[in-house]
Amino acid sequence: MAADALPPFPPGFLWGASTSAHQIEGAVDARGPSVWDVFEARPGVIRDGSTAAVACDSFHRHREDVALLAGLGMNAYRFSVSWPRADSPGGLDHYERLVDDLLAAGVRPVPTLFHWDLPASLDWLDRDTAARFAEYVERVAARLGDRVHTWITLNEPAEHTVLGHALGVHAPGRTLLYDALPVAHHQLLAHGLAVRALRAAGATDVGIAASHSPTWPLTGDEADLAAADHYDVLMNRAFSDPLLLGRYPEGLEQLMPGDVAADLEVVSERLDWYGVNYYAPSLVGAPTGEKSAYGTFDVPAGLPFALHEIEDRPRTAFGWPVVPEGLTQTLTGLRDRYGDRLPPVMITENGCSYPGLDDQERIAYLDSHLRALHRAIEEGVDVRGYFVWSLLDNYEWNEGYRQRFGLVHVDFDSPERTRTPKASYAWLRDALRAQR
């Protein structure tokens, strides 16, 4: 597959890779505990029984990672700041070193301020956590704001709400189902407060990384259409509508805590760009009275929808269907729904899990999704950047080390956490050279 076969992307396009602190940093003894550290200590919740105590050891080896980014020819790196580390003595020193090394390599630092590793002493069910988040953001901006210009407030508040608080398969492991909705609202409020804090610190390039994918009804029957719409509200519009329209979808506002109308004025603070994390569509039908699969875990019976497998598609090692046209559909759908309320878009995550160094499946995946992204640009969506997930094989949350999303292989059995670029690394490097 020729790297120069990709169509040309717009001038000034950001090409980057994404990671998150808990998944790569390790060095848990140099920070306070997060909800994930507590969760990982519970028996049986992590599929391979591991923890992220060392992960990729990027806390100590970040210069290797910066060199890998530079070798790819990337001009941006999306990483996350660990809130528990930032709260620890000297914790922000690590991020100053990382930012300085990225800038020296000609790579734009794009920090995410919350990527699920909440300090263990806090709780998103508590409204005050949003205020604590804004204070933390102020401290980070005060230290890094003279060198960092592009910021991401939150990563995937929908997944953190649903997986961590409604279904219990992620930290903190709650099974609240619809009673988890306050977690969504408090995260959105935290986002808005963070935008205000960043603006006060002089930031002019602020976005969010929200998960989005099309919801496909199982059939055209009324019951399936209604179930798909309900699911789409919960996973997509319950987050994007408040952010971009300043209101919740009909029926949700009365389920949220506090003075919702006043909060929504904060939530809908203007964004400079809107980040989209895309992996695959969801196929949704009417409830069957039985549990249904959501990736590698089960969704309980009794919900007003059921999830179904998308057939006749290649699957990643995670079992996710490969549907590149879903990325085009996602982006054009956002444009059609939000019109001029949608700011420029960046793809803040897109990637796949496959084993091995000669990862031809990942090359095919990236090629097809980049072409799908280009089609969205041709159809008028203002897309400014693309961040592949992920630079490194990492600690994949409740999967432990079983899934490999990286362009770079990490030997988790070696004390050095040896890094070896895969075939996809070389393919993407050549593709980016051809874009220049």
| pLDDT number for residue 43 | 97
Whether 282 shows a pLDDT value over 50: the answer reads yes
Assess contact for 243 and 191: CB atoms under 8 A. yes
Superfamily (CATH H level) for 3-435: Glycosidases (3.20.20.80)
Whether 1 shows a pLDDT value over 70: the answer reads no
Q: Once rounded to an integer, what is the mean pLDDT over residues 87-109?
A: 98
| pLDDT number for residue 299 | 86
* Domains in the chain: boundaries: 3-435
| pLDDT number for residue 396 | 98
Considering the chain, what percentage of its residues have pLDDT values greater than 70? 99
| pLDDT number for residue 3 | 46
Q: Which amino acid is at 154?
A: L
CB-based contacts of 313: which residues, under 8 Å, 6+ apart? 321, 322, 323
Whether 119 shows a pLDDT value over 90: the answer reads yes
Whether 231 shows a pLDDT value over 80: the answer reads yes
Given pLDDT bands bounded at 50, 70 and 90, which one contains residue 292? confident
Q: What is the Cα–Cα distance from 125 to 130, expressed in whole angstroms?
A: 10
Catalytic residue IDs: 156, 349
Six-digit token string for 340: 């001029």
pLDDT tens column, 307-349: 999 999 999 999 999 999 999 999 999 999 999 999 999 999 9
Assess contact for 398 and 335: CB atoms under 8 A. no
Six-digit token string for 255: 């389920």
Whether 226 shows a pLDDT value over 60: the answer reads yes
Q: Once rounded to an integer, what is the mean pLDDT over residues 60-73?
A: 98
| pLDDT number for residue 166 | 97
Q: What is the Cα–Cα distance from 371 to 345, expressed in whole angstroms?
A: 16
Q: Once rounded to an integer, what is the mean pLDDT over residues 1-23?
A: 88
| pLDDT number for residue 298 | 85
Return phi, psi of residue 128, to 5°: -65, -20
| pLDDT number for residue 2 | 44
pLDDT tens column, 132-146: 999 999 999 999 999
CA 368-393-72 angle, to 5 degrees, is 60
CB count within 10 Å of CB 390 equals 24
